Structure 1
Amino acid sequence: MKIVGIYLAAGNSSRMGSHKLALPVGTMTVGSLALETALKSQLDEIFVITKDTDDADWLPVEMKSDARCSIIKCSTAHEGQSESLRCGIQQAQAHHADAVIIMLADQPFITVQMIEEMILCMRKNPTSKFVASSHKQTIMPPVLFSSSMYNELLELRGDKGAKAILQGDFLQKGKLLPCADKRLVFDVDTEADYEALQSIEKTK
């Protein structure tokens, strides 16, 4: 079973006021932390989806040159998250992936264990449509989708992410993996979030 990562990194950072993925965190950047984690996992390939104007200089050279990592420029990213997602799904289809894990570049505390548990869960339950992280019954990224969901994901439009599908009766068709520590699914949207991230990193 070939499982690839779709690393969504084409947001507008509108609530931050500056390109949040380029903000420094120790010797790293906000946007490189979760990618470093993904590259330590069993994912076969990782497609980093960026705006077509982004040269991805917020990523270390060694990550960009990693054989499993591909930078995909999405020319329609400004139209909403669904466009970035579509770019990723199209890459997954072209590379004959059996499933994708959709990750957000602004979730710095995702762990290798979380990714591996999702992959293991899908391999044990190959008829599942999805495997999703959840915190207190709320679904949070990352989310794994089987290839049977590609067409539905490609039909999303505007600023809708994959979460738009994960509701109602559809939830009976997959698996939820509870995450007790909300910090693991924390995302950096505002200056206050960035300050919190820096404080947490200093205590490690």
Structure 2
Amino acid sequence: MGVTAILLAAGQSSRMGKLKGLLPWKGVTLFEHQLMTLEKSSVEEIIVVFGYQAEQFMKLAKYFPVRMKFNKKNPFGKCSSILSGLQAMKNPKNNILIAALDQPLDTDTINSLSETLEGSDHLIAVPVFLGKRGHPVLFSGSLHNDLLTINEETMGLRSIFQKYKDTVMEVSVNNPTILLNLNTPDDYQMALKQQIKEDRSPC
């Protein structure tokens, strides 16, 4: 079973005060880092959902093997962007990786989720570091129709987690990056310090 990644890049970055995707991360913009990571992974198809200031990201995305989707309903919440990505999938039977622009990705984590879910009877795979769940989340393609029912009123993906809580598989990874959420300037500065510390750590 292949994997389709849906990268959510439609937010307004209101709490950050500037476009998160254009922030420097590992020598490139955060947006480019996300696409580079997905491209290096075992993901078969990459769909990027744009919204606010889409042109800023589209001019970067054209250098990557991605499908671009503009979400006109972006102001109404993240669920609309997820739905846009789901509807753009070439193969609805693919497993579905939901990734956010402000949550730095890691190729090994993505591949581990894919390999683990593929060889199990579980329907959802989530990475875990030191007992804490992180991102991104991988959903079985069999949940495609269920995912199409999400909305803001039922708390989006949380409703799917609740419905299928007995089929969630936790995949242990040795990577604290899965816990990062770059929502504010303080979050970003702390993440940069963590990254520098990790880069200096001996192998």
TM-score, normalised to structure 1, is: 0.84
Count residues in correspondence. Answer: 197
Match of 1:185 in 2: 179
Amino acid at match of 1:66: F
Structure 1 gap ranges (5+): none
Task: Describe the SS at the equivalent of 2:181.
Answer: coil
Segments ≥4 residues shifted beyond 6 Å: none
2: CA distance, partners of 1:120 / 1:143: 13
Change (3 A) 1:54 1:183: same
Greater shift, 13-22 or 127-136, is seen at 127-136
Aligned partner of 1:149 in structure 2 is 143
Where does 1:121-136 land on structure 2 (aligned, <5 Å)? 121-125=116-120, 127-135=121-129
Q: CA RMSD in A?
A: 2.4
1:89-168 matched pairs, under 5 angstroms: 89-92=86-89, 94-108=90-104, 110-125=105-120, 127-135=121-129, 137-158=131-152, 160-167=155-162
Identity among equivalent pairs (%): 24
Which of 55, 68, 73 lines up with 2:70 in the alignment?
Answer: 73
2:135 alignment partner, SS class:
strand
Is the 1:52–1:75 contact (alpha carbons within 8 Å) kept by the matching residues of 2? no
> Residues 44, 119 of structure 1: CA spacing in aligned structure 2 closer, same or farther, 3 A cutoff?
same
1:16 offset after TM fit, Å? 0.9
Paired residues of 2:135 and 2:179 also in contact (CA < 8 A): yes
Range with bigger deviation, 21-30 or 77-86: 21-30
Whole-Å Cα distance in 1 between the matches of residues 118 and 177 of structure 2? 27
Q: 1:32, 1:105 within 8 Å by CA — same for their partners in 2?
A: no
TM-score norm. by structure 2 comes to 0.84
Aligned in 2, Cα 1:11/1:57: closer, same or farther, shift over 3 Å? closer
Aligned twin of 1:41: 41
